[in-house]
Copies of this chain bind each other. A is one copy, B any other.
Amino acid sequence: MAEGSSRNLTWHGGLVRAADRAALLGQRGCVVWLTGLPASGKSTLAGALEGRLISEGRAAYVLDGDNLRHGLNRDLGFSPEDRDENIRRVGEVAALMADAGLITITAFISPYRAARLRARQAAGAAPFFEVFLDVPVEVCRRRDPKGLYAKAQAGQLRQFTGVDAPYERPESPEIVVDAAAKGVEECVETVHAHLRRNGVLRPPGS
A residues with a Cβ closer than 8 A to B are 1-6, 8-12, 14-16, 20-21, 24-25, 38, 43, 47-48, 50-51, 54, 57-72, 74-75, 77-79, 85, 89, 92-93, 95-97, 99-102, 109, 122, 146, 148, 151-152, 157-161
Q: Top 8 A-B pairs ranked by shortest CB distance? A: A61-B100, A2-B157, A72-B92, A3-B78, A71-B92, A15-B51, A3-B158, A15-B47
Give A47 to B13 CA distance when docked, in angstroms.
10
With contacts A50-B16, A64-B12 known, is A78 near B148, CB below 8 A?
no
A58, A77, A96, A109 pick with most chain B CB within 10 angstroms: A96
A126 nearest CB across to chain B (Å): 12
In the bound complex, do residue B24 and residue A78 qualify as a contact, i.e. CB atoms below 8 Å apart?
no
Give A143 to B51 CA distance when docked, in angstroms.
49
Chain B residues within 8 Å of A8, by CB? 146, 148, 157
A to B CB contacts below 8 Å, 25 in the list: A1-B38, A1-B65, A1-B109, A1-B148, A1-B160, A1-B161, A2-B152, A2-B160, A3-B79, A6-B69, A8-B148, A8-B157, A12-B43, A15-B50, A16-B54, A20-B54, A24-B59, A25-B59, A61-B101, A68-B96, A71-B95, A72-B92, A75-B85, A93-B93, A102-B102
